[in-house]
Amino acid sequence: MSFEGQKILPAVRSMKDFDKMLETSFEYGVFLDLHVGMLKSVFQYARQQNRKMFLHIDLIHGLSNDEYGTEYICQEVKPYGIISTKGNVIKKARQKGVYATQRMFVIDSSAMKRSIDLIHKTEPDYIEILPGVIPKIITEIREKTGKPIFAGGLIDTIEEVEAAIEAGATAITTSDRTLWKHFDKK
C-alpha cells in the first residue's frame, strides 16, 4: 500500500499535534503516547475528520500491551492499524482484521536477524525500522521480508526522508512538523 503517495506518516504525541495534522492534507498518521481513557473519543474524532490512524499500542498508558489489550483495542477502538514490537500483539491484530506493523530496532546484525525471524513468524502487514536513517538496512530488510517498510527515528532532514524512500521505504514516521510541512501536498 502506498498511502496514496503520502511519504510522511505524521507521528502525533498530543491533541495539539493532531490539530496541526488536521491542517495538512495527510490522511494517514500515527498516534503515540495516549491514555487508555482517551482512545475511543480520539479515534472517533479522527474518523470524523477522515483520518486513518495507526496506534502505537506499546505506548498506551493504562493498558497492558499484550494480546488481551490488543483484542480490546481492535474491538472497541477500531484503529486503522497498530504498531508494536511484540509478536503476540501483531498476530492478534491480524486475527482481528487490523493492519499490523512490527516495529524493529536495528542496533546490530544480531538484532536484525532476530527481528527478521520474528517477522517471518508474525507476518505483519508493515515493518517499522528504527533508526530509519540507514538506507542500506531498509533495502536489506525489504529484500529479506518482502514487506512494506516505514522508516522512523533520527530522520531530521528532507534528504534523509528522500534517501529512505529511495532505499525502499513506503513512508517515514516522524513527529517533526517541519518535515510534515515540506511533504504536505496542500
> pTM (2 decimals)?
0.96
Inform me whether the pLDDT recorded for 140 exceeds 70: yes
Per DSSP, what are the bridge partners of residue 128? 103, 150
Domain span at 21? 3-183
C-alpha triplet 171, 180, 12: angle, nearest 5°: 80
Q: Average pLDDT of the chain?
A: 96
DSSP designation for 61: B
Distance between CA 128 and CA 83 in Å, rounded?
Answer: 8
Ramachandran quadrant class, 33 (left: phi over 0; alpha: psi -120 to 50; beta: rest): left
Residue 132 CA to residue 71 CA, distance in Å, equals 29
Instruction: Determine the pLDDT at residue 1.
Output: 56
CB-based contact 131:162 (threshold 8 Å): no
Please list the residues that pair with 169 across neighbouring strands: 149
Q: Give tens-digit pLDDT for 27-57.
A: 999 999 999 999 999 999 999 999 999 999 9
Best CA proximity match to 59, nearest among 33, 20, 25: 33
Q: What is the CATH number of the domain that holds 145?
A: 3.20.20.70
Query: Of 152, 148, 149, whose CA–CA distance to 59 is shortest?
Result: 152
Report how far residue 71's alpha carbon sits from residue 69's, in angstroms, rounded to the nearest whole number.
5
**Spatial distance between the Cα atoms of 22 and 19, rounded to a whole number of angstroms:** 5
150, β-bridge pairs = 128, 171
Task: Render pLDDT for 94-129 as a digit per residue (tens, 0 to 9).
Answer: 999 999 999 999 999 999 999 999 999 999 999 999
Q: How many domains does the chain have?
A: 1
> If you average pLDDT over residues 128-157, what whole number do you get?
97
**What per-residue confidence (pLDDT) applies to 4?**
87
